[in-house]
Homo-oligomer: A and B are copies of this chain.
Amino acid sequence: MLLSAENSLLLLIDYQTKLMPAIAEGARVLNRARLLTDAAQACGVPIWATEQYPHGLGETVPDLIPLITRRLTKTHFNAATEAHVQDALALWQGRRIVLAGCEAHVCLLQTALGLKSQGWAVSVALDACGSRHLDDKALARDRLIHAGLPLISVEMAAFEWAEHKDSAAFKAVLGAVKHAD
């Protein structure tokens, strides 16, 4: 039930430059997204990102781009319905997908439910997810719970991936946690 770095894939959803300014508590959401990404990098977890119609909504925010190993463009809100996303994910068959992104109740939610219906194990790092309105985020939480998906926090992922205080990744994870505080 706990995450392991060897069995995880991080998929960031639509942290795009023209969307993020509209997100409620957006600075906190991006702070958490950055910590999640730093922890994934320290622990060797692949870091992928989707972008919804980047011509209109912009690219992923600059702070995250250097850490991402693969970017996937989409036009469906549910990334799991895009054939090229399915093909790319097939490389990591069997891994648990750790999801985070925006908006919590649209692209993040639809992708989480879509991946689950295709048989993927999915965990959602809710404190790194945002919507324009907090009401919508709260209902996204309710619906993810209804679907049986485990909600996690960014720090849960970081410390489960690091596993113990003598692991190779622990110092880097702890540094990132302190830097984000």
Q: Which residues of A contact B (CB under 8 A)?
A: 1-2, 52-53, 56, 75-78, 105-106, 109-110, 113-114, 116-117, 126-127, 132-133, 135-136, 139-143, 145-148, 150-153, 155-156, 159-160, 162-166, 181
CB atoms of B139 and A152 under 8 A apart: yes
A173 CB to nearest chain B CB (Å) = 11
A164 to B107, CA, bound (A): 10
Copies in the complex: 4
- From known contacts A1-B113, A142-B145, A143-B151, infer whether A163 and B106 are also in contact, taking CB-CB under 8 Å: no
A88 to B165, CA, bound (A): 22
CB atoms of A2 and B135 under 8 A apart: no
- From known contacts A76-B163, A165-B53, infer whether A151 and B146 are also in contact, taking CB-CB under 8 Å: yes
CB atoms of B127 and A139 under 8 A apart: yes
A34 to B132, CA, bound (A): 18
CB atoms of A153 and B140 under 8 A apart: yes
8 Å CB contact of A1 from B139, B142, B147: B147
CB atoms of A77 and B110 under 8 A apart: no
A110 CB to nearest chain B CB (Å) = 6
A141 proximity list for chain B (CB < 8 A): 142
CB atoms of A75 and B165 under 8 A apart: yes
The 20 listed contacts between A and B (C-beta, < 8 Å) are A1-B116, A2-B110, A75-B165, A77-B163, A77-B164, A77-B165, A105-B153, A106-B155, A109-B156, A127-B136, A127-B139, A132-B181, A136-B156, A139-B152, A140-B156, A143-B150, A143-B151, A145-B146, A146-B148, A147-B150
A165 to B145, CA, bound (A): 27
A106 proximity list for chain B (CB < 8 A): 155-156, 159
